Amino acid sequence: MLRFILGRLAVLIPTFVGVSIIAFSFIRLLPGDPVMLMSGERVMSPERHAELMHQLGLDRPLYIQYFDYLGGLVTGDFGSSIVTKRPVLVDFMQLFPATLELSLCAIILAICLGIPAGVLAAVKRGSWLDQTVMGAALVGYSMPIFWWGLLLIIFFSGYLGWTPVSGRISLMYFFPPVTGFMLIDSLLSGQAGAFKSALTYLILPTIVLATIPLAVIARQTRSAMLEVLGEDYVRTARSKGLSPFRIVGIHALRNAMIPVITTIGLQVGVLLAGAILTETIFSWPGIGKWMVDSVFKRDYAVVQGGLMLIAGIIMLVNLVVDLTYGLVNPRIRH
């Protein structure tokens, strides 16, 4: 097991270096003068330019600049915003819980609905239930989620007036963040109605963000289940006289989960890409909206740092998924 983990880490390091090279060269690839881009100043004298160039370290050889950058990354220095001058990492840590809360809720929703739906579709293969579930999954899989979000807003916020349009919680409530998770913080605050308010703000973005992972998980679960249900060991389980629930829910599902877990792991990238759109639609103050805003504000230092941090998170999650995979599949564990 330890060797398995070390092997995974060994692959991760070159990827991390590569990602850092891309993030590093991103600023240098931008059309225009990097000094002007990084300082955010439009007009400057040649002296000021030289001074800034030196200050930003842009006058040194490229490889030294890169190693400086890498050194910064290792010590937690991801640069500072051109606009607000605040360190990127500080902003990121402040905004990330909002994205994490939304993504976790979405993936939990997707797993809790997607796996049972896929299992049911596989067990009732060919029935109207199967066709309905798979039809819905295909629609979900083809959904432009930015439009889906707008539709939900039109219906639930505009027409029914049930849910708010943007933000994380009603302005009526204010409390200092403890965990950064609004659902937990609102409970901790003890203010009446705060939790309910946070929930109503969370529900639409969660549905929107969960749509594609839900569809993918349902489809993958169904095909994995169909394959597993035809295996000899399922026949053995049936020959023991076990209940259908036990055969499907334990013997088959446990095996079908092996490919499904890989799929769930791959959804992390999909979730973060989806978060960019979802957060933009619902003005959710997370890293997706932060990145889009920074691109528009030409705050390239933030884009650079954010790219690095987001890629880092994805790599970390992939590692965790690989390890879970090992836990589920005894053939890897031993």
Partner 1 sequence: MSLLEIKNLTVEFETSSGLFRAVDGVSLSCDKGEILSIVGESGSGKSVSMLAVMGLLPWTAKITADRMAFDGKDLLKMSPRQRRKIIGKDIAMIFQEPMSSLNPCFTVGYQLGETLRFHMGLGRAARRQRSIELLRLVGIPAPEDRLSNYPHQMSGGMSQRVMIAMALACNPKLLIADEPTTALDVTIQAQILDLLVRLQKEHGMALVLITHDMGVVAETAERVQVQYAGQKVEEQPVKELFRDPHHPYTAALLSSLPERATVGGRLPSIPGVVPGQHDRPTGCLFSPRCTFATDLCRRSVTLQPPSLGSALCNYPLVGGVPQNHPGKTAALAEERA
Partner 2 sequence: MTAIESKPAEAVVKAKATTHPSALSEFWFYFSRNKGAVIGLVIFLVILVVAVFAPFVAPHSPSQQNRELLLLPPAFQQGGNWSFVLGTDAVGRDILSRLIYGARFSLFIGLVVVTLSVISGVLIGLVAGYFRGKVDTVIMRVMDIILAFPSLLLALVLVAVLGPGLLNAMIAISLVNQPHFVRLTRASVMTERTKEYVIGSQVAGAGTLRLMFKTILPNCLAPLIVQATLAFSAAILDAAALGFLGMGAQPPTPEWGTMLAEAREFIQRAWWVVTFPGLAILITVLAINLMGDGLRDALDPKLKRS
Residue 161 is a binding residue for partner 2 (CB under 8 A): no
| Residue 169 interacts with partner 1 (CB under 8 A): yes or no | no
Closest by CA to 209, choosing from 152, 247, 171, 170, is 152
Q: In angstroms, rounded to a whole number, what is the distance separating the alpha carbons of residues 3 and 8? A: 9
Among 34, 167, 180, 269, binds partner 2 (CB under 8 A): 269
Binding region for partner 2 (CB under 8 A) out of 80-88, 152-160, 248-256, 325-333? 152-160
User: CA-based Rg of the chain, rounded to a whole angstrom?
Assistant: 24
User: Residue 217: which H helix or E strand, with range?
Assistant: helix 194-229
9 binds partner 2 (CB under 8 A): no
238 binds partner 1 (CB under 8 A): yes
Residue span binding partner 2 (CB under 8 A) among the ranges 185-193, 203-211, 235-243, 309-317: 309-317
User: Quick check: 83 binds partner 2 (CB under 8 A)?
Assistant: no
Please work out the total of residues on this chain that contact partner 2, with binding judged by CB under 8 A: 43
Piece of the chain touching partner 1 by CB under 8 A; list 28-36, 63-71, 241-249, 299-307: 241-249
Instruction: Select from partner 1, partner 2, none the partner in contact with residue 138, using the beta carbon and a kind-dependent cut-off of 5 to 8 Å.
Output: partner 2
Task: Tell me how far apart the alpha carbons of residues 131 and 125 are, in angstroms, rounded to a whole number.
Answer: 8
Distance CA 264, CA 167 (A): 27
Question: In the complex, what is the shortest distance from the CB of residue 306 to partner 2, in angstroms, rounded to a whole number?
Answer: 8
88 CB contacts (<8 Å, ≥6 apart)? 78, 79, 80, 81, 301, 302, 304, 305, 306, 309
Q: Give the separation between CA 260 and CA 243, rounded to whole angstroms.
A: 24
Q: Which of 128, 192, 232, 245 binds partner 1 (CB under 8 A)?
A: 232
Residue span binding partner 2 (CB under 8 A) among the ranges 7-15, 40-48, 95-103, 108-116: 7-15
Using the rule CB under 8 A, is 233 a contact of partner 1? yes
* 1 lines the binding site for partner 2 (CB under 8 A): no
CA atoms of 251 and 107, how far apart (whole Å): 24
DSSP 170: -
Distance between CA atoms of 181 and 227, rounded to whole angstroms? 39
What DSSP assignment string belongs to 274-291? HHHHHHHHHT--SHHHHH
- Token readout for 260 is 């499904």
Give whichever of 32 and 330 is closer to partner 1, judged by the CB atom: 330
Which of 82, 69, 90, 80 is CA-nearest to residue 16? 69
Contact 262, 1 (CB under 8 A): no
Give 146 or 175: the residue with its C-beta nearer to partner 2.
Answer: 146
Q: Is 235 in the site for partner 1 (CB under 8 A)?
A: yes
Site string for partner 1, 188-227 (x = CB under 8 A): ----------------------------------------
Q: Which residues bind partner 2 (CB under 8 A)?
A: 11, 14-15, 18-19, 22, 26, 29-31, 135, 138-139, 141-144, 146-148, 150-151, 153-154, 158, 269-270, 272-274, 276-277, 280, 291-292, 295-296, 303, 307, 310-311, 314-315
